[in-house]
Structure 1
Amino acid sequence: MSEYIFSRKTFLKHGFHNYPLAWNSDDRAWLDFSDNKPIFTINKALVYVRLSTLNISGKQDKQDEKKLSAISFYRFLIANKLKFYALPEREIIIRFYESEIITQRKLKLSEWCFLTYFYLRYLDFYSIKKFSKRFLKSILKKHV
Structure 2
Amino acid sequence: MIAIVIPYYKITFFEETLKSLANQTDKRFKVYIGDDASPEDPSKILEKYSKKFDFVYTKFENNLGCISLVKQWERCIKMANKEDWLMILGDDDVLGENVVKLFYKNLPEIKKENITVIRFSTCKINDLGNLISDVYQHPKIENAVDFFFRKTRSSLSEYVFNKKKINAIGFKDYPLGWFSDVLAVLEFSNFGNVYSIKTALIYIRISEISISGRSDNMKIKLKAVFSFYYYLLSSKYNKFTDEQRKILLNKINKCYLNDKKNMLMFIKISKIYFSNYLFTFYSEFLKSIFFNLKTNFSKNR
The TM-score range, normalised by the shorter chain, is 0.7 to 0.9
- Which segments of 5 or more consecutive residues in structure 1 lack a partner in the other structure? 121-127
State the distance in 2 between where 1:137 and 1:93 align: 16
Give, in whole Å, the separation in 2 of the partners of 1:43 and 1:82: 31
**Aligned positions of 1:5-84 closer than 5 A:** 5-84=160-239
Match of 2:247 among 92, 106, 109: 92
Structure whose residues are more often strand by fraction: 2
Do the aligned partners of residues 8 and 135 (structure 1) sit closer, same or farther apart at CA in structure 2, a change above 3 Å counting? same
Contact 1:4–1:41, Cα closer than 8 Å, also in 2: no
The alpha carbon displacement at 1:68 in A equals: 0.6
Do residues 131 (structure 1) and 249 (structure 2) align? no
Contact 2:176 2:221 in 1 (8 A): yes
Q: Which amino acid aligns with 1:66?
A: K
1:59-107 deviations in Å (ceiling 9; x for gaps)? 1111111101111010011122332223322211111101201211255
**2:270–2:282 contact (8 Å) kept in structure 1:** no
Q: TM-score, normalised by structure 2?
A: 0.40
Q: Give the match's secondary structure for 1:67.
A: helix
Which of these residues, 92, 106, 114, is aligned with residue 272 of structure 2?
A: 114
**Counterpart-to-counterpart distance in 1, 2:273 and 2:258:** 16
User: Normalising to structure 1: TM-score of the pair?
Assistant: 0.77
* CA RMSD between the two structures: 2.5
Matching residue's letter, 1:116: F
How far apart in 1 are the matches of 2:225 and 2:284? 25
CA deviation map 1:27-54 (0-9, x unaligned): 1211221123222222332112222110
Report the Cα offset of residue 111 of structure 1: 2.9
What is the alpha-carbon distance in structure 1 between the residues aligned to residue 289 and residue 206 of structure 2? Answer: 41
Partner amino acid, structure 2, of 1:131: Y
The alpha carbon displacement at 1:137 in A equals 7.7
Kept in 2: contact 1:18–1:25 (CA 8 A): yes
What is the alpha-carbon distance in structure 2 between the residues aligned to residue 48 and residue 2 of structure 1?
A: 9
Q: Residue 195 of structure 2: SS of its match in structure 1? A: coil
Q: Which moved more, 1:59-68 or 1:45-54?
A: 45-54
Q: Any idea what SS the aligned residue of 1:40 has?
A: strand
Larger radius of gyration: 2
The secondary structure found in structure 2 opposite 1:53 is coil
Mapped partners of 1:137, 1:51: distance in 2: 34
Amino acid at match of 1:40: Y
Match of 2:258 among 97, 103, 107: 103
Cα gap change, 1:135 to 1:46, in 2 (>3 Å):
same
What residue in structure 1 maps to residue 3 of structure 2?
Answer: none
Residue of structure 2 in register with 1:124 after alignment: none
Counting matched residue pairs gives: 133
Unmatched 5+ stretches in structure 2 = 1-155, 294-301
Is the deviation greater in 58-67 or in 106-115?
Answer: 106-115
SS in 2 for 1:56: coil
